[in-house]
């Protein structure tokens, strides 16, 4: 695999993570608690990204590999821990939402429902978890993009950026990376958005 191909592969994973961040930011924010279905969908997306990275590492380590490709394996390995940390934060948020939904259903079925929830605490916990996941995933994205830029030969770096931008075309119905720049713009966090 050429250096440009390896760089593009890293850009693609970074783009998948960046899309997930945007999806997380689109979830309802305080004072609304996102639904368990909405949150679970994002957990599944992160699990899919993590599985893809793990499989890529295994595939690239099977058989004899050139040193350049082993460097790419190191970059993939570097983001496994952040992906796991982000999954922990999303898992905490998911557990909090599930607990909230169960309690709501119990109150309604026991005729204890008076139209008012004590939702402040779940909102704070879920918002904190989602903000933490966003920060972790943002750092992972930046690391991957920096590694991809460093890996690509100087004459191919412009081509890599063009490929990443053209891959973001939503017309084909396939998941595509978002446009990649060396310093991606930072969207407001959920906490700032909710103010």
DSSP code per residue over 134-174: HHHHHHHHHHHHHHHHHHS-GGGHHHHHHHHHHTT-GGGSS
What is the predicted pLDDT for the residue at 18? 97
Per-residue pLDDT of the chain (195 residues), as tens digits, is 577 888 899 999 999 999 999 999 999 887 888 999 999 999 999 999 999 999 999 988 887 777 777 888 899 999 999 999 999 999 999 999 998 888 776 666 665 555 545 556 788 899 999 999 999 999 999 999 999 988 877 655 555 455 544 444 444 343 433 333 334 444 455 655 554
Cα gap 175→171, rounded to integer Å: 10
DSSP code per residue over 48-94: HHHHHHHHHHHHHHSS---HHHHHHHHHHHHTHHHHHHHHHHHHHHH
- How far is the CA of 36 from the CAs of 46, 108, 117, 133, 173, in angstroms? 15, 18, 17, 17, 26
**3-state secondary structure at position 4:** helix
- How far is the CA of 18 from the CAs of 28, 81, 103, 143, in angstroms? 18, 17, 33, 12
Cα gap 5→105, rounded to integer Å: 51
What is the predicted pLDDT for the residue at 114? 53
CA atoms within 13 Å, Cβ hemisphere of 131:
15
- Residue 150: CB partners within 8 Å, gap ≥ 6? none
What is the predicted pLDDT for the residue at 167? 44
Other residues' Cβ atoms within 10 Å of the Cβ of residue 36: 18
What is the predicted pLDDT for the residue at 113? 52
What is the predicted pLDDT for the residue at 109? 63
């Amino acid at each position: 695999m050429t250096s440009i191909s390896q760089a593009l592969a890293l850009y693609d994973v970074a783009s998948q993570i960046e899309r997930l961040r945007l999806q997380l930011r689109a979830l309802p924010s305080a004072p609304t608690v996102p639904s368990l279905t909405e949150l679970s969908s994002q957990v599944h997306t992160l699990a899919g990204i993590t599985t893809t990275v793990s499989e890529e590492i295994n595939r690239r380590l099977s058989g004899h590999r050139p040193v350049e490709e082993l460097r790419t394996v190191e970059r993939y390995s570097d983001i496994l821990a952040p992906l796991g940390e982000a999954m922990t934060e999303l898992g905490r948020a998911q557990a909090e939402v599930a607990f909230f939904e169960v309690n709501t259903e119990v109150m309604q079925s026991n005729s204890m429902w008076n139209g008012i929830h004590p939702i402040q605490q779940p909102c704070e916990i879920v918002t904190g978890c989602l903000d933490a996941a966003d920060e972790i995933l943002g750092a992972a994205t930046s690391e991957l993009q920096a590694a991809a830029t460093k890996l690509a030969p100087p004459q191919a770096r412009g081509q890599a950026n063009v490929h990443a931008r053209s891959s973001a075309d939503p017309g084909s119905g396939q998941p595509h990376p978002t446009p990649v720049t060396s310093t991606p713009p930072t969207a407001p966090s959920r906490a700032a958005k909710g103010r």
